[in-house]
Amino acid sequence: MEIHEALQWTDELIFAKTGKHLDSLQRAILEGVWEHKGYQDIAEEYHCSNDHVRKSASELWKLLSELLGEDVKKKNLRSLVENQFFSYSDDAVHIGNNINLCSDLYNNSKRKKNRSPSTPKNQSEPRHDLSQAPENLRFYDRTNELATLKQWILTEQSRIVTLTGLSGIGKTALARQLVEEIKDNFDRILWRSHRKFPTLNALQSHIIEFIAPTSPIQNPSLINYLNSRNSFLDYLRTHRCLIILDDFQDTLTPGELVGNYCPGYQNYGRFLEEMGRFSHQSCLLLLSWEQPLEIATLEAEDCSCKSLQLAGLGKSASQLLTARKLQDKPQWSRLIELYNGNPLWLNIIATAILELFDGSVEKFLSYPLLYLGNIEPLLKQHYQRLSESEQVLIRWLANQEQPVEISQNPPEFLSNSDFFKAIQSLKKRNLLHKCSTLTLDTVMQHYVRNLSL
Ligand SMILES: Nc1ncnc2c1ncn2[C@@H]1O[C@H](COP(=O)(O)OP(=O)(O)OP(=O)(O)O)[C@@H](O)[C@H]1O
Ligand SMILES: [Mg+2]
């Protein structure tokens, strides 16, 4: 995108909202920042003080943040403007069956550059944006999970479906495969990672713009409309949308029992409540390490909300080991069992087996301890998210010789109440298995045991 296009687009956007065009200093700031210049250089070229430029720039970023629904700063201005500019082009999204997995906005700029950013899209055509979803190169099995998810989403028209599981278990891969199989049932499909959105408002504005893109330049009142919470549900009523929100655990605060939102993200709880309780024809598919508290309540109240705790791949993981060219097939089921069928962990361990034992699973398994290798940093991330009482409990459980019954007295250092709360929380994090005895994830158990050595 050329600077003159960026200036014109930004000027029109601001004019539509404020009735004023960019002033000469604002233009100088945009041009300078576009070319990666510092405020000092811009000030010198404009013959004014550094402070004056900074103040004007900060007001401009604030205004643009409001208009674009994103946190605009000097360092992200260019990418945000380019993204918004090209999002008005038909090629940035995916029509019907013709799904483009890697939208490369920048490379397409030549084709798009003659188009007006104010051209609205045909709102009745299906539109699928999977540009932020990974490509599914190899996908094994998950037949039952796919059938369950289809039943919930297509047949029962669930409004929220949550897919939880430890890192690497295959949430993203499963959701990607699911979308491929059900995409024709939706007018709109949008896949986004929570990590890209600093606030819920930014996310909602982004979704609205995607569902019904009307140029803010043609329709200035859209800006206010975008920020209206009620209007969000209206869009989900008028269009059948599937919104996939990945990495949702990033909204939840570490160091506390599961389910508390990080500062600034508390409104996600209300958002989930609204999505679950009010009628609309769309579905939010949440992918998360941990289950948000609202989901259990909505599910219990039968609010068209379902959740699936994803387990390992089981026997099908042997296809993954075949692809990795490991040896000693009769030993594979033991290997899969040890690493809970987690495809990421198995891939990591397969690399270690190839590097250390020339691919011999038998030799690897003759090693007396469960080897964690590069799985350790992943386990550490999960462990560090636990509250103090969960860490106490998990360390205690990891060192028990016999299975622990829930009715058994809690460890002396935890009150009954803290004991039960910690158990519930660990289950929502997929670290304790759902059964009458308290069974820790075996790989996590080894990690925690090693911590106390
Ligand atoms: N059913 C499957 N068949 C083949 N490979 C799979 C399958 N499920 C997952 N994988 C592979 O395992 C790895 C981890 O999967 P994925 O990224 O989906 O995990 P995740 O649960 O989303 O993890 P995170 O919570 O860290 O995002 C990826 O390389 C993915 O391709
Ligand atoms: Mg994932």
Ligand showing the shortest atom-to-Cα distance for residue 347: 1
Vertex 269: Cα angle to 263 and 272 (nearest 5): 145
Residue whose CA is closest, atom 29 of ligand 1? 344
Q: Quick one: which atom of ligand 1 is closest to the CA of 142?
A: 1
**Of 3, 264, 243, whose CA–CA distance to 109 is shortest?**
3
Task: Give one word for 160, left, alpha or beta, with left for phi > 0 and alpha for psi -120 to 50.
Answer: beta
CA dihedral for 199, 203, 204, 205, sign (positive or negative): positive
244 CA from centroid of ligand 2 (Å): 11
Total-model pTM: 0.72
CA of 382 to the centre of ligand 2 (A): 14
Mutate to test the pocket of ligand 1, among 172, 194, 342 (most ligand atoms within 8 A of CB): 172
Closest by CA to 292, choosing from 325, 331, 250, 320, is 250
Strand, helix or coil for residue 433: strand
CATH architecture of the region 3-87: Orthogonal Bundle (1.10)
How many angstroms is it from 314 CA to the middle of ligand 2?
19
> Nearest CA to 310 among 291, 328, 325?
291
Beta bridge partners of 284: 160, 243
Is 283 close to ligand 1, i.e. is its CB under 6 Å away? no
Q: What is the pLDDT of residue 179?
A: 95
Instruction: Say if ligand 1 is within 6 A of residue 29 CB.
Output: no
Run of H or E including 438: strand 437-440
289 lines ligand 1 (CB under 6 A): yes
Query: Which helix (H) or strand (E) segment is 287 a member of?
Result: strand 283-288
User: Residues 216, 222, 228, 230: what is their CA dihedral angle, to the nearest 10 degrees?
Assistant: -130
CATH 3.40.1280.10 fits 94-111+126-309, yes or no: no
Please name every residue paired with 247 in a beta bridge, in sequence order, or none if there are none: none
The residues placing their C-beta within 5 Å of ligand 2, an ion, are: 172
Cα separation, 168 vs 389, in Å, equals 25
Ligand 1, atom nearest to 141 Cα: 1
Distance CA 40, CA 43 (A): 5
Cβ(259) – ligand 1 distance below 6 Å = no
Ligand 1 site, residue 138, Cβ cutoff 6 A: yes
Question: Does the beta carbon of 442 lie inside 6 Å of ligand 1?
Answer: no
Q: Are 208 and 200 in contact (CB under 8 A)?
A: no
User: Which token pair is 272?
Assistant: 């989930």
140 Cβ below 6 A of ligand 1:
yes
- In angstroms, the CA 2 to CA 264 distance is 35
CA of 170 to the centre of ligand 2 (A): 7
Q: Which two tokens stand for residue 355?
A: 């590097």
CB 86 near ligand 1, within 6 Å: no
Measured between its terminal Cα atoms, the distance across the chain in Å is: 57
CB atoms within 10 A of CB 71: 15
DSSP label at residue 20: -
Residue 52 to residue 67: CA distance in whole angstroms: 23
pLDDT value of position 198: 67
Domain borders along the chain are: 3-87, 94-111+126-309, 314-329+337-364, 377-451
Same fold for the domain at 3-87 and the one at 377-451? yes
Q: Is the C-beta atom of 341 inside 6 A of ligand 1?
A: no
Q: Quick one: tokens of 281?
A: 């024809």
Are 139 and 119 a contacting pair, CB within 8 Å? Answer: no
> From ligand 1's centre to the CA of 173, what distance in Å?
5
CA 117 to ligand 1 centroid distance, Å: 37
User: What does pLDDT average to in each consecutive run of 10 residues of the chain (453 residues)?
Assistant: 82 77 90 91 90 93 84 87 61 30 30 37 72 86 95 95 95 95 92 79 82 56 46 83 93 90 88 90 95 90 89 93 94 94 96 95 90 93 94 89 76 82 90 79 88 70
Cβ distance 241 to 186 under 8 Å? yes
CA of 379 to the centre of ligand 2 (A): 15
What are the CA-CA distances from residue 97 to residues 55, 108, 127, 213, 356 (Å)? 48, 20, 9, 20, 45
Helix (H) or strand (E) holding 87: helix 77-87
Question: How many angstroms is it from 325 CA to the middle of ligand 2?
Answer: 25
Residue 201 in tokens: 């408002």
Q: Does domain 377-451 have CATH number 3.30.160?
A: no
* Residue 405 phi, psi dihedral angles, 5° rounding: -85, 145
422 vs 418: CA distance, rounded Å: 6
Residue nearest to atom 28 of ligand 1 (CA): 344
| CA 287 / ligand 2 centre spacing (Å) | 7
Residue 87: what pLDDT? 56
Number of H helices, E strands in the chain: 21, 10
* Residue to probe by mutation, ligand 1, list 141, 344, 346, 429, most atoms within 8 Å of CB: 344
DSSP secondary structure, 274-312, as one string: HHHHS--S-EEEEEESS--HHHHHHHHTTSSEEEEE---
